[in-house]
Amino acid sequence: MLSCPLCGCHDVGRIAPDHYYCWNCFVELALEGGRVRAFNVDLEGMLTPVGAEGAVPEPQPGEGCS
């Protein structure tokens, strides 16, 4: 994964096989069955899906890496 599908930033690191973390928008990304799912990580390390069941929403105009 070269850039975050949510914010477009290149500050994405691999944390496990098929799991990545964006340091710009603080979201964990998982590749599952050819789809990218996004999760917020809470203070206790629990993952909660972003959007409808973790489906990656379309980027908004003007968003990007800060």
Structure tokens at 63: 């968003």
pLDDT of the residue at 35: 87
On the question of pLDDT at 59 being above 70, the answer is: no
Could you tell me the two tokens for 40? 């917020």
pLDDT at 34 over 80: yes
**pLDDT tens figures, 7-19:** 889 999 999 999 9
- Retrieve residue 12's tokens: 């994405």
β-sheet bridge partners, residue 12: 22
pTM for the model: 0.75
Residue 60, number of CB atoms within 10 A of its CB = 9
Q: What pLDDT is recorded for position 32? A: 86
By CB neighbour count within 10 A (0-12 exposed, 13-18 middle, 19+ buried), where does 22 fall? buried
The pLDDT score that the predictor gives to residue 16 is 93
List the chain domain ranges. Answer: 12-53
